[in-house]
Chain A
Amino acid sequence: MSERRPYRRPVNPKWWWAPGAYRAYTLRELTGVGIALYGVVLFAGLISLSRGPDHWEGFVQFLRSPASIVLHVILLVVVAYHVKTWFEILPKTQPKIIVNGKQVPAQTITSYATLVAVACSAALVLFTFLVAR
């Protein structure tokens, strides 16, 4: 009677924090927490709005608090890292682009897409502040 005893290579339980590719992967995936957290802030704002002017005023006071400003600066850094990594992945997830019979290099796609993203965010900030003047 023979029993199968396959060899299982031991896995470091902390593999996800091992320096190099694994840690980069974990940091990239953790940006999802930041984006969801910003969703929580917006969701809290919507709930405050639906509960009337006093609750909305409370939400605005929260946004003005130093704790909230610090939180949003951290979120900005996290989302900026998301922008960087998101467009590094983009060339791997979309069909090849051929221009003049040559494949457009991944780095070119990443650079242009990142530029477009910066332009979108800058346009949003400019538009809002022009409207609010």
Chain B
Amino acid sequence: MSNAVSTKHAAAEKRSISPLFWLPFGAGGMLAALFGPGLILVTGILGPSSSGFMERFASYDHVLAFARNPIGKLIVLAVIALFFWHGAERIFLTLKDMKAGPVPNLKFATYGVAALVTLVTFVVLLGIGF
């Protein structure tokens, strides 16, 4: 019996933390699949190329008001952070499969960047005020 307990223990200790990264990967992938094309069309293609749109919709005051609204903050944080975590997971796994370098370095260059951007986004959104 003690044998069974120790085996169980060992399994628990060996458990991978990978699933922790799958959640933001999946959430970011779903967000990008549902709203990514629409977001890119509005902010990058149709918005900037239609006359008067940026003045009406993307004026400094309007966008600042959006970033000061708590729900607006949540949307900005979710989109930026989840897009980075999604990209980080895919780039990390692909570089690992290509054996592009030592795994800790690859993690640092992918998950590390996503974590840093998430932190800075959070701090900047707080700094913008309410």
Interface residues of chain A, those whose CB is within 8 Å of chain B, are 16, 26, 29-33, 35-39, 41-43, 45-47, 49-50, 53, 56-57, 60, 63-64, 68-69, 71-73, 75-76, 79-80, 82-83, 86-87, 116-117, 120-125, 128-129, 131-133
Contacts and interface: CB of A to CB of B under 8 A. Distances in A.
Nearest to A56: B60
Contacts of A125: 38, 41-42, 46
Nearest to B29: A86
Contacts, number: 160
A57 B64 CA distance: 12
A77 B93 CA distance: 22
Interface of A is mostly: helix
Nearest to B32: A35
B42 A124 contact: yes
Given A63-B47, A83-B33, A117-B34, A39 B91 contact: no
B80 A121 contact: no
B54 A60 contact: yes
Interface of B is mostly: helix
A33 B95 CA distance: 12
A31 to B, nearest CB: 7
B44 A123 contact: no
B108 to A, nearest CB: 15
B67 A117 contact: no
A131 B38 contact: no
B130 interface: no
B48 interface: yes
Contact of A46 (B32, B47, B121): B121
A121 B58 contact: no
Contacts of A30: 90, 94
A80 B83 CA distance: 15
Nearest to A84: B33
B89 A32 contact: yes
Contact of A50 (B30, B91, B124): B124
A38 B83 CA distance: 8
A121 B38 CA distance: 4
Contacts of B24: none
Contact of B44 (A33, A39, A68, A116): A68
B44 A79 contact: no
Given A32-B86, A35-B83, A123-B38, 9 more contacts: A33-B87, A43-B84, A75-B44, A83-B36, A116-B34, A125-B46, A128-B42, A132-B53, A132-B57
